[in-house]
Amino acid sequence: MKHLFDITGKVAVVTGGSKGIGKAIAEALAAHGAKVVVASRKLDACQAVVDGIKADGGDGTAISCNITNREDLEKLVRESEAAYGQIDIMVANAAVNPFMGSNLDIPDDAFQKIMTCNVQSNLWLAQMVIPGMQARKDGAFIIVSSIGGLKGDRSLGAYAISKAADFQLARNLAVEFGKDNIRVNCIAPGLVKTDFAKALWTDPERSSKRLAGTPMARLGEPEDLAGIAVYLAAPAGSWTTGQVFVVDGGVMAGASAG
């Protein structure tokens, strides 16, 4: 039982790994023994995370990647495999949201960018890494989604649609590849204090409303999402697949009594 969270020797790739939730997950996976590829558009930011991992005794590699570009993702997979031989854990964390406003006003280009980045790129990654996992009869594919995919939203409509699509993508992949011992799951964070969500948690009105509806009476920190990622990547999660894990301080459970 002591090895439930030991992923020593496993190779993990984390997109959007240079900051926020992705950074926290990358650091946690490395702390539990994984060799971690930290990927994002800015190589220097990825390298800073890798330097921290190595300073703590871990193993990591930085690779620049724009996930909206299939060729870039192919390069990420190719260079990750060149560095470490294989990919055992894929964490699809990177996402975008270039539009906030009425569902009636979402520009076509913004909608397409959101769907390409938040859904299509995850399918591309699955197409690239799952065959190798099949050959080894082992693998964990983790999509960082959002509770936005579980409820309607007045101003984050396209983003919420993309996150709901991720849930179904995970279920589809879990059903198709469970026989190969490949586990596919989603993590659905609530409002976390990251640069990505800064427009939400720095807005006094939005922040106040969210806090009022959060039983734990605080917003999330990136580190709050690290533990569930380790669980899903590790032997502890070996019979867990096709699920959506909500980590939101209790928001989806219902408003606190006040």
Helix (H) or strand (E) holding 110: helix 108-115
159 is catalytic: yes
Torsion-angle region of residue 112: left (phi > 0), alpha (psi -120 to 50) or beta?
Answer: alpha
By CB neighbour count within 10 A (0-12 exposed, 13-18 middle, 19+ buried), where does 121 fall?
A: buried
Q: Which of 124, 141, 159, 231 is catalytic?
A: 159
Closest CA to 42 of 74, 72, 66, 20: 66
By the 8 A CB rule, do 158 and 110 touch?
yes
Tell me if 89 sits within 8 A of 140, measured CB to CB. Answer: yes
Provide the pairing of β-strand 35-40 with 11-15.
parallel
Catalytic residues: 159
